[in-house]
Each structure stands twice: as C-alpha cells, then as structure tokens.
Amino acid sequence: MSFDAEAEKGAHGLSWPEARALVLPFLSSLAGVIAMTEAALAPTSERPRVGPAPETLVPLEAGDAAVLSWFVTRLDQLDATKARPWSATPYEAIFEGLGRQPAELALRLWRRGGPLLALVRWREGPARAMVRRFGRQVLPELVGLVAENPLVGFERFADLGAGEFAPVTAQVLARHRVAREAALAWLRRHRAVA
C-alpha cells in the first residue's frame, strides 16, 4: 500500500484509546476544556496541586490562536515536571483523538512532540488517523518516529511506501542489526519508491 493510499482511506472503527478520546468540534472549544482541566488540577483541601500552577491564566476571551498558543505553552510546562500531571485528564484525552481534532490543533500538537504525544504517536490508531487525514503533511514527524525506533517503526508502518523512508532504511541497514530485517522487509515491499 502506498503512503498516499493510506492517507485516502477512511476510518475503519476505533481502538479503545481512540474511543475514550475527547474530540473537540471546534478549536474555540479548547478554552472551555482548558478551564475545566485547570480547575481539576487545582489544589483543594483534600488534595495537593497536581503539577505546577499555570504561569498565566488562559485568555478565554482571546482568539483561537492565543488559546492554542497558551495550551502548547502549558503542555511544555507540564512536560517539564516529568510527573505526568496530565495523565487521565482531558489534556490526555485530546491527544487520544489527535487525528480527529480541528486541523490547526491536530497539526500543532503532532509537530510539537513531547512525552504526551509520544504516548499516542506510537499507537497505530492516532498515527494512522493523522496519515489518513493529513497525508504528506505529517510525514516528516512520522519518518522521525521510525528513525527513533526503527524496529517498532518499520513493523507498525511497513505498509506506508514513501520515498522519505529510504534514508532511514539505509541508516538502519548500516547501523542497526536488530532492526535490519524490518528495514529489508520495507525495502522489498517498496522498491519503486526507495
């Protein structure tokens, strides 16, 4: 199957993580989710604060671009704690449905990277949803993902035939004995693009 053919496929059901995803109907919905999540992370008399307090409050009346920028900054702040304070919050649920989020949000979070994205990017569902929806726009990050862990990457995305995987394949053949078979299988399957 070519990379473009995977991008054109429709969704064929949802995995368990995708089924529990929080999918925003509009980017403007993000401000409400942020307010709800930050309230849940705030300390109460029964429990301490979960994660660091936000440096500033979300600009609820600001435009979508300002709210999205605040959200990305807040994720960076939470990621820096290494404590995973976003676990089991709506923030994590947004990532579970990454491929079904409003386009601007999905692409910004996909390109951002970070530990939260790493959790869902390795799951086939969100990554394939991004490929189906955005096609070649998400290819650089997907190639980087395969380069990070070629054994798992070539196994999970072996059916995606894009010439951009060829340099990674060459590096794996030269340097990674463990992943060599997976890279050779990809190369045999996609000779035309390699």
Tens-digit pLDDT profile for the chain (194 aa)? 455 544 444 444 555 566 678 899 999 999 989 988 888 777 777 877 666 777 777 766 778 999 999 898 888 888 887 666 777 788 888 888 888 999 999 999 998 877 666 666 666 677 888 888 999 899 898 888 888 888 888 888 878 888 888 898 889 889 888 888 988 888 888 888 87
Q: How far is Cα 117 from Cα 111, in angstroms, rounded to an integer?
A: 9
DSSP-derived 3-state class of residue 163: helix
Q: What is the pLDDT of residue 101?
A: 93
List Cβ neighbours of 53 (8 Å cut-off, separation of 6 or more). Answer: 42
pLDDT given at position 15: 59
**Per-residue pLDDT, 24:** 92
Q: What is the pLDDT of residue 119?
A: 63
Contact 91, 116 (CB under 8 A): yes
Give whole-number Cα distances, 78 to 21, 40, 53, 75, 164, in Å: 20, 14, 9, 5, 33
Confidence at residue 11, expressed as pLDDT on a 0 to 100 scale: 47
d(CA 194, CA 191): 5
The pLDDT of residue 133 is: 93
